[in-house]
């Protein structure tokens, strides 16, 4: 079902890659001095939303750039992040992503993630379980963090950490193994995020048999009604995800108990 949007995502990715080095692009700030938006974000969102309207006219939409949300008529929703990590894009750092998540009757169903600079597009419906999922966090080697956890040592573990400055690629690499027996990242520990940042990735984690557990203890790969859990559409835009994600449900649970449950 969500696969109908792959062609549009490909076109948006090509557009973003084409204008990546355009020095005339103007950026403005939103919530804080590092929260950027540009015409590239806005145009990308318009392209994606037009495709959703064309293929899924009864579906609801929640998109990062405000003003284009619409209610659902059939219980289907699309969560859209047209350009995750505009700050990297602005700085000329080729690490950003496009993310679309589909929710059906409150349950995260499927997702599409694109890494425009590499030309890669991933669909959760094509994902297969990791062949050798980790059984415990002590077996982990690499993990991803954001700035919230950059000064937080993971006591009792010896790991290599990666602070990539982009949530969606970090979450994708917790799922994607590039034909290796384990993912590129064994888990991610993140302190900031919105639902449109994580929704598409939740679908991948779900397909992999993994988990995304936020600070409340809710595993969103198993959540029966994400909108109710997040306080409804009214509170969804302000809900901050502080979470651990892994393609191994046991690893996610271990990290949650060690570093999130204690506050």
Structural domains in the chain?
Answer: 2-124 (3.30.540.10), 137-260 (3.40.190.80)
DSSP state of 175: T
pLDDT per residue over 68-113, tens digit each? Answer: 789 999 999 999 999 999 989 999 999 999 999 999 999 999 999 9
Number of H helices and E strands in the chain, helices first, is 8, 12
Phi and psi (nearest 5°) for 37?
-145, 150
pLDDT > 90? residue 182: no
Rounded Cα distance between 191 and 193, Å, is: 7
pLDDT per residue over 47-59, tens digit each? Answer: 999 999 999 999 9
pLDDT at 133: 78
Phi and psi (nearest 5°) for 80?
-120, 125
pLDDT at 81: 96
Rounded Cα distance between 57 and 74, Å, is: 10
pLDDT at 9: 98
pLDDT at 32: 64
Q: How confident is the model at residue 31 (pLDDT cuts 50, 70, 90)?
A: low
């Amino acid at each position: 079902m969500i696969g109908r949007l792959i062609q549009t995502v490909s076109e948006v990715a090509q557009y973003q890659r084409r204008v990546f080095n355009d020095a005339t692009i103007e950026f403005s700030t939103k919530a804080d001095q590092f929260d950027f938006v540009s015409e590239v974000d806005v145009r990308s969102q318009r392209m994606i939303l037009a495709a959703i309207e064309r293929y899924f006219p009864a579906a609801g939409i929640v998109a990062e750039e405000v003003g284009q949300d619409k209610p659902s008529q059939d219980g289907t929703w699309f969560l859209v992040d047209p350009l995750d990590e505009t700050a990297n894009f602005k700085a000329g750092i080729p690490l950003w992503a496009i993310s679309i998540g589909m929710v059906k009757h409150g349950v995260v169903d499927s997702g599409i993630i694109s890494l425009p600079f590499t030309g890669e597009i991933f669909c959760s419906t094509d994902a297969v379980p990791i062949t050798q999922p980790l059984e415990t966090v002590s077996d982990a080697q690499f993990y991803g963090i954001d700035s919230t956890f950059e000064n937080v040592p993971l006591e009792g573990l010896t790991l290599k950490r990666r602070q990539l400055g982009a949530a969606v690629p970090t979450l994708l690499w917790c799922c994607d193994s590039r034909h290796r027996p384990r993912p590129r990242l064994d888990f991610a520990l993140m302190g900031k995020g919105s639902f449109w940042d994580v929704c598409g990735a939740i679908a991948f984690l779900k397909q992999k048999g993994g988990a995304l557990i936020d600070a409340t203890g809710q595993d969103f790969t198993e959540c029966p009604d994400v909108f109710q859990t997040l306080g409804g559409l009214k509170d969804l835009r302000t809900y901050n995800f502080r979470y651990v994600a892994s393609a191994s449900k046991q690893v996610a649970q271990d990290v949650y108990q060690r570093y999130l449950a204690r506050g």
